[in-house]
Structure 1
C-alpha cells in the first residue's frame, strides 16, 4: 500500500501545489498528487515544502575525497554525504590531468557506477583538459591541449558511455570537429576556462555547445567592444549558464544579471565543490595544487586564486532565496530541473513526476534542508 507525504507545498516543474498529498508507491516511485486526504500512512510535513532532489552537474569532491583520486570507495563516500546537501543525483567531475589519469578515472567510474548507495551517478563531467592557459584557474596548464576526438572517444568507451558532458575552450584548434563528434555521442559540450571572443563562443554554440561553465569565472569578461565569453553566456539563445552562488565567486547582483538574461529555466546552480567541502577550515589540495580553506573559500596556496568551492548545493538554494533573487520554488528548480535538462537527464531526475524514482527533499520557507529521501526512503534528517 502506498504512503503519502503531506506538505505545505509540492514543487513541480511548472507550478506549486499547496496543501497536498504526494503518493510514494511501494516500489519507491512518485505516484499521484492529491488534494483530498487519502487512505494510507501519511507523513506530516505540513509546515514544510517538498521539492525534487537536487542535481549537481559540476562537483569534483566532498568529505575529503576527490573524483581524481580514482578510488570508487571515496566516490561512494561522496555519494552518501551528498544526501546531507539535498543532492540525490550528480555528475562526478574531473580536472585537467594526464591522459592516463583521465583514462583510469573514466574506467573506474564506468566499471562501478551503480554501486553507490547515496546520490546517484547520472554521468561524468570532464572539466578539461582542452582549455587555454590565460584563464586556467585551478586547472594545471601543463596538461592542456587542443580538443582531441580520439581522446574523447576513448574516455566515452572506457566510461561505458557515462561521459555526458565535457568542457572546452572554443578558441582552440579543432573545436568544430570535436563538438560535432561529441554531439553524435550525445555528449554535451560546455565552454569554460577560455579567452574566446564573442564570435568564437557563438560559433561553438551554433555547432552544438550548450553550456557556459561557472559564468564570470575563468572566462573573458564583458566589454562593450568585445562581449567575450560572458557576453555570449548572457546573450546567446538556448544555452545554459552555470553559476556558483557561494557569495565569493560571483556577486549577488551579477547572479541576478545572469538570471534576468537566461531565466530560471536556463540558470544552473552548481557547486564546483572540491574535497574540502564539509570539512571545515585548514589545508587541502586540488589535483596537484595545495589549497588553503579559510573564511568560506578554497584558494590556491601559491597565489590566492579561488580553487573550486566548498559550497553545498542546498546552500546555493538558500542564498538565492536570502538574496531575494527568486522564490523558493524557482531556486529549487535552478538546482534540480535546469541542471538535469542541461545534460538531458531530466527523464530520470530533477523533477517530481509519476513513475519517477521518489528522490525528494523537505525544506523550510528559507530553503533550509530538513530531510532527503532516496527511492522513497528517508536517508537524511536535519
Structure 2
C-alpha cells in the first residue's frame, strides 16, 4: 500500500515542515518530495497537520474495560478505543494482584495479540508490580506485595511468550539489585515505582539497569534538600526517563512544566488511565478496589488517586498550554520519548524515513481527525 500524503504541515523531531508530499511505502515513512509522479495515489489532508502516532507506555484500561479483566475482549476493546486519542502503540499494563490474576491477564494479552489487535498495537506487557512497598502504595493492593522473585518473573515471561517488556518495582526491597541486573540483561526495561527508596538506593538501581521512573511525583518519596529521595534522583539524572501524568490533578501545572524543562526529551507523557476513562462519573473497579469518579477524577474510598481518566492527546495539549512550548516539542514527549524508553526509537515515534507509518491527523484545535497504523487509516472521524 503506497501513497503520498499532502497536508498543511508535518510535526517533525526538530520542527515543523510546511507543505510538500510525504511518501508512505509498505507501511513505512518515505521521503518528502515537492512533486509526485502522475497517477500517484494521494491522501489529501489539506488544511490539517500530520503528527506521529502517540505511544502510551502506561495504560490499565479505558471505556469500561481493564487489562486486569483478564479477557481477550478487554485487550482488543482498549486497543480500538485509544485510536480516537491518537494512540497507535501501547503497553497493556497490569497492576498488583494475586499471581493467578496477573497470570490470567498475561494470558489474555498474549492471546489477543496473537489473534490481532484491531487498533493500537501492543509493544509488550508492562507489569506494574507486585514488587512494591506499602508507604506509597497508591491504588496497589499491599496484600500481594513481595520481594522480587526471578523464578516467578521467568515463569510469567514464559507464559507471555517473551512479551513482557517492562516491569516496575521498589528498589529498596530485598534482592532487588541482582533482580534488576538479570532482568535488564534479558532485554526487559525496569522502572522505579511505588517506593520510599533513598536517593542513593535509586542511583544504585539505575547503575544496575533501571531506566525509568513511573508517574513522577506520585507513589514515591518526595524531594527534600537533605535527602533528594526518589523525585530528586529522577530529576537530577539526565540519563533516565520519567513518566508524567498531565491531567492537572496528579501534578500541578507549574511543577509539570518544571519537570519538562529539566528532563527535556527524557520526559514521557502517559495516562495511567483506568476503565473509567471515556465513561461518566460513578463507581468503578480498579483491580480489587472500588473506585469513585467525580468530575473525571478517580479515587479509592480511602481518598487516594486511582490511576487517571486522562486521554493522552489531552495530556499533550495540557503540557503545551502550560509550558507555551511549540507543539512539535511537546508532542514528541508522547511519541518519540516513550519509544526511546523502550529501545524502539529507531522504529517508532517520529515521522522519519524508514520508521513505521503511524500517524495522526490534527485540525487547528489539535483535535484528532484520523489515526493510521503502519499506513492504514484505522480511525476516521469524517
Fold match, TM over 0.5?
Answer: yes
Hey, what's the Cα distance between the residues in 2 that align with 1:32 and 1:280? 44
Distance (Å, rounded) in 2 between the aligned partners of 1:361 and 1:203: 39
Quote the offset at 1:256 in angstroms: 1.3
**Which residue matches 2:125?**
124
Q: Deviations over 1:9-58 (max 9, x none)?
A: 22233443221211123x33322211335532333323222111100000
Contact 2:97-2:288 within 8 A present in 1 as well: no
Q: CA deviation at 1:355?
A: 3.4
Shift of residue 101, structure 1, vs aligned partner: 1.6
Asked whether the equivalents of residues 246 and 311 of structure 1 are also in contact (C-alpha less than 8 Å), the reply is yes
Equivalent residue, structure 2, for 1:72 = 72
- Secondary structure class of the residue paired with 1:314: helix
Aligned mates of 1:108, 1:71 — CA distance in 2:
5
1:28 equivalent in structure 2: 27
The answer as to 2:345 corresponding to 1:346 is yes
TM (norm. structure 1) is: 0.95
Looking at structure 2, the residues matched to 292 and 133 of structure 1 have their Cα atoms a distance apart, in angstroms, of: 22
> What is the alpha-carbon distance in structure 2 between the residues aligned to residue 112 and residue 292 of structure 1?
29
Taking the TM superposition and a 5 Å limit, the aligned residue runs for 1:266-285 are: 266-285=266-285
1:193-232 Cα offsets, whole Å, 9 max, x none, are: 0111111111111111000000000100001111100001
Q: CA deviation at 1:316?
A: 0.8
Q: Report the equivalent of 2:325.
A: 326
User: How far apart, CA to CA, are the structure 2 residues paired with 1:329 and 1:339?
Assistant: 15
Q: 1:50 to 1:135 in 2, by over 3 A?
A: same
Tell me the distance in 2 between the aligned counterparts of 1:283 and 1:297. 11
C-alpha separation between the residues in 2 aligned to 1:45 and 1:328? 19
State the partner residue of 1:299. Answer: 299
- Matches of residues 217-236 of structure 1 in structure 2 within 5 Å? 217-236=218-237
Residue 211 (structure 1) aligns with = 212
Q: Determine if the alignment matches structure 1 residue 167 to structure 2 residue 168.
A: yes
CA contact (8 A) 1:299 1:307 kept: yes
Give the Cα separation in 2 of the matches to 1:231 and 1:377: 43
Partner of 2:238: 237
For residues 219 and 187 of structure 2, what CA distance do their matches in structure 1 show? 25
The CA deviation at 1:149 is: 1.1
Give the match for residue 256 of structure 2.
255
Shift of 1:365: 4.2
Distance 2:37 2:23 in 1: 9
CA distance in 2, matches of 1:368, 1:121: 23
Instruction: Tell me the alpha carbon deviations over residues 287-337 of structure 1, each in whole angstroms, 9 at most, x when there is no partner.
Output: 01111111121111x212110000011111111222234211012100001
Q: State the TM-score, normalized to the length of structure 2.
A: 0.95
CA contact (8 A) 1:256 1:325 kept: no
- Distance in 1 (CA, whole Å) between partners of 2:174 and 2:245 is 29
- Pick closer, same or farther for the CA change 1:298–1:5 going to 2, 3 Å: same
Say whether the 8 Å CA contact 1:94–1:126 is kept in structure 2: yes
| Contact 1:10–1:20 (Cα < 8 Å) also in 2 | no
Q: Return 5+ residue gaps in structure 2 as ranges.
A: none
1:151-206, CA deviations, whole angstroms, 9 ceiling, x for partnerless residues? 11111111111101100011111111110111121011100001111111111111
- CA offsets 1:72-103 (integer angstroms, 9 cap, x no match): 11110110111001001100000001112212
**Aligned residue pairs, count:** 379
Specify the alignment match of 1:91 in structure 2.
91
Give distance in 2, aligned partners of 1:197 and 1:366: 43
Structure 1 unpaired stretches of 5+: none
CA distance in 2, matches of 1:184, 1:41: 45
Checking the alignment, whether the CA contact within 8 Å between 2:189 and 2:210 is kept in structure 1 is yes
Deviations 1:268-289 (A, max 9, x none): 0000000111112111110011
Match of 1:60 in 2: 60
